Each structure stands twice: as structure tokens, then as C-alpha cells.
Amino acid sequence: MSSSKTAKRFRTKEMASVEVYGHIGILVAKLRNISQTGAFLEVSQGDYVPQKGDLLNLTVKLDTVDRTHNVAAEVIWSKGLGLGICFINKDQILERMMAKAGAF
């Protein structure tokens, strides 16, 4: 029997820039909620909507505290312009990209 615990989510309205590995360009997204393990984003500008399995580099500039956060993530679901992402260790990006390439 497994127990699945959901991390507490916090509502936010921060803007984020999103780089999708394997795609050219930067997307602009609204960060709608965030937790210790992931976030929900809505793409607001760009020519690609990330799909389940896409790997991302997410940058959020927090003007109120004059800090910038940069994290790696994987899309775990997408619907319309909305994305559910889980944060991953940056060291895992190359490993996951190679695994995806091997699947073709």
C-alpha cells in the first residue's frame, strides 16, 4: 500500500520565462500555484505549448525581493495552455534527455 502525499500549494501570480529543451525560443507563462515539488503554469506567450514529458528550464524573477530563481522541471500533464510540472534536479536533465532519445 502506498501513501501519496500532496505538497501544500501556494497561489501566486508571478511571471516566468520557460525554455523547453529541444525547442527554440522562450515562452512566457503565468505561475498560478507552486509547491515544494512542482507548480501549475499557464502559457501566455510563445509559439509552442509544452506537452507531457517535455523538460523545461524555468526562470522566475521575484522583483519584490530582488531575486531570480532558476529550476529544472518536467511536464507531468498539460491541458490547453495549462501545465502541471514537477521540479527535478538539474543533474537529471541530460539523463532524461538521453532516455527520451533512446525511446525513438
Assign 3-class secondary structure to the chain. Answer: CCCCCCCCCEECCCEEEEEECCCCCEEEEEEEEECCCEEEEEEEECCCCCCCCCEEEEEEEEHHHCEEEEEEEEEEEEECCEEEEEEECCCHHHHHHHHHHHCC
In a domain, 33, yes or no: yes
pLDDT in tens, 9-25: 889 889 999 999 989 99
pLDDT band at 3 (very low <50, low <70, confident <90, very high): very low
Percent of the chain having pLDDT more than 70? 93
In a domain, 44, yes or no: yes
Percent of the chain having pLDDT more than 90? 59
In a domain, 35, yes or no: yes
In a domain, 2, yes or no: no
The predicted pLDDT at position 72 comes to 95
In a domain, 1, yes or no: no
pTM of the model: 0.84
Domain count of the fold of the chain: 1
The answer, yes or no, to whether residue 104 has pLDDT greater than 70, is no
Residue with cell 508571478: 14
- The domain containing residue 97 runs over which residues? 10-102
What CATH number should be reported for the domain holding residue 56?
A: 2.40.10.220
In a domain, 49, yes or no: yes
